[in-house]
A and B are shown apart, each in its own frame.
Chain A
Amino acid sequence: MEKIILEHFQNRKQAEETVPKNIPEVISNTVVDKFFLEVYSLTIFTARFFKEVVKPPYEFNELAKQSFLIGYKSLSLVAITSFIIGLVLTVQSRPTLAKFGAESLLPVMVAISIIREIGPVITALIFAGKVGSGIGAELASMNVTEQIDAMQVSHTNPFKYLVVTRVLSATLMLPILVAFSDAVGLFGSYVAVNLKGNVTSYLFFSQIFQSLEFKDLFPAFIKTFFFGFAIGLIGCYKGYNSNKGTEGVGKAANSAVVFASLMVFIIDMIAVQITSLMQN
């Protein structure tokens, strides 16, 4: 099938060279063709992931290493951004709530915003920028320098060793990072509340936990697994299938971030729809 696609692209390239460029049908057809071919090969890549993930041998050491690199090394960035977002959100929301005399609802409103939406989405976007691009660039660079071929010659399945471990690590680490991000974001909110008032931490957090319900936490937690999976998978797909040459490395990193970020929003939109349908 890969051969057919390659031939298709080559024929298309020849067609583009011979057909005048100002015919819109040709251009739109090309874009549409490329889009569907991209979707097709991403689907094949995803199917291969599910096939390889259950097949032994399992690369536990590499999985642990990648989880450390992907998770632990992202902590500081996630902490800083979450703290700032919690703080800014609280400072910005206070005047509006004060107008309606609802200032006491500030901790609850900020907590629900952070836990349900802002925490998962912002962390996922940061994760896409840092980890998605990193994976894309790393695998593309390994492709260029023949390291992936060398792995195969060393009787190692490079897909299992490189792709499966990274996708699993991203899937498992993002929910943990989001939980951490939520906690830091709420702490940022607590600091902001105390900038113009005097609220004890016990009062602040007990008010939050009393108002939070299972339906606030569970869907938000579940969707983070899908975010992590999409970011890891797209990063690996772009890197593993990059063109040879240094240009391919840059393109892989760039398109990994763009597509992964877009996927985060699409998954979020679907998750919100499903959640609201289930709650009605």
Chain B
Amino acid sequence: MTTETSTIENKDDNKQTNSVVVEMQHLKKSFGEKEVLLDINLVMNKGENLVILGKSGTGKSVLIKCIVGLMEIDDGKLLLFRQDISQLKAKELTELHRKIGFLFQSGALYDSMTVRENLEFPLKRQVTKVSKKEMDELVKEALENVGLSDTIDMTPSELSGGMRKRLGLARTLILKPEIMLYDEPSTGLDPITSKEISNLILEVQKKYHTSSIIITHDRECAKLTANRIIVIRDGVCAAEGSYAELEKSEDPWVRSFFE
């Protein structure tokens, strides 16, 4: 494993703090006999955008699904907000997961619901009840943030790929999560829309002070959004550093991601 010096770039005057929000120690995950994550060690600080790169099938999405609780880890430690999740009761873990938002690769919008209903869905599921008036305001604000105010009564099938991604982001942000997990946010989009999504990720970081893990194959997206990058190879973190550092990596395999 080659670990390069980690230097966090400050972007948009967003001051990084050193408080750790996600930490993985010797994390392992396998499916049957196929070992996907062998020994993952990583740390994400509050307010930073951490980009994870790697070939398809190396378990990048599995990694963030473990963080949000969609998958369980086989071995190792996963700490969220400095709390070891294996030591937490189900209720405490649910409370921690409430602070985490997840943007799915496809947007994962509910086809049977309108845009408004999609955004209201997570609000209705909160422990503290939200009044109809507050809900309307939050929906309006969420749509304004992603520039989709005029789509409120449309169904997801009427939206383009980029709009679906933005709406998926709006639905996630409506609960104002402290950690955002983006699963290939720019996949399947044209370069212009892809750049719009990347800018949106930066706006989210700036406006809501979120810490984000971004899984991507898109070099431009990584360049624009990353404070720090981790490259995964064969189930371990193979390289770590800023975009500028990894671009000049001595390892040709790592460098190939940036060419």
Contacts and interface: CB of A to CB of B under 8 A. Distances in A.
Interface of A: 3, 6-7, 10, 138, 141-142, 145-147, 149-156
Contact of A156 (B105, B112, B125): B125
A145 B125 contact: no
Given A145-B106, A146-B106, A153 B33 contact: no
21 contacts: A6-B32, A10-B33, A138-B112, A142-B111, A145-B106, A145-B108, A145-B111, A146-B105, A147-B108, A147-B110, A150-B102, A150-B108, A152-B69, A153-B102, A154-B121, A154-B122, A155-B94, A155-B97, A155-B98, A155-B122, A155-B125
B104 A146 contact: yes
Contact of B104 (A3, A141, A149): A149
Interface in B85-128: 94, 97-98, 100-102, 104-106, 108-112, 121-122, 125-126
A153 B32 contact: no
Contact of A147 (B32, B98, B101, B111): B111
A10 B33 CA distance: 8
A112 B181 CA distance: 62
Given A147-B111, A149-B65, A149-B104, 18 more contacts: A6-B32, A7-B33, A10-B32, A138-B112, A142-B110, A142-B111, A145-B106, A146-B105, A146-B106, A150-B110, A153-B70, A153-B101, A153-B102, A154-B121, A155-B94, A155-B97, A155-B122, A156-B125
A141 B111 contact: yes
Contacts of A138: 112
Contacts of A153: 68, 70, 97, 100-102
Contacts of A149: 65, 70, 104, 108
- Consensus secondary structure, chain A interface: helix
B253 interface: no
Nearest to B113: A147
Contacts, number: 51
A153 B101 CA distance: 7
Nearest to B71: A149
A154 B125 contact: yes
A5 to B, nearest CB: 10
A6 B122 contact: no
Nearest to B30: A3
Contacts of B65: 149
A152 B31 CA distance: 21
A147 B118 CA distance: 11
Contacts of B110: 142, 147, 150-151
A151 B172 CA distance: 11
Interface string B1-35: 00000000000000000000000000000011100
Q: 7 closest pairs, A vs B, by CB?
A: A150-B108, A146-B108, A154-B122, A146-B104, A10-B32, A153-B102, A7-B32
A138 B110 CA distance: 11
Nearest to B94: A155
Interface string B208-244: 0000000000000000000000000000000000000
Nearest to B102: A153
A7 B65 CA distance: 21
Contacts of B31: 6
Contacts of B69: 152
Given A141-B111, A146-B104, A147-B108, A152 B70 contact: yes
A154 B172 CA distance: 8
A6 B32 CA distance: 6
Contacts of B32: 3, 6-7, 10
A244 to B, nearest CB: 12
A62 to B, nearest CB: 11
B34 to A, nearest CB: 8
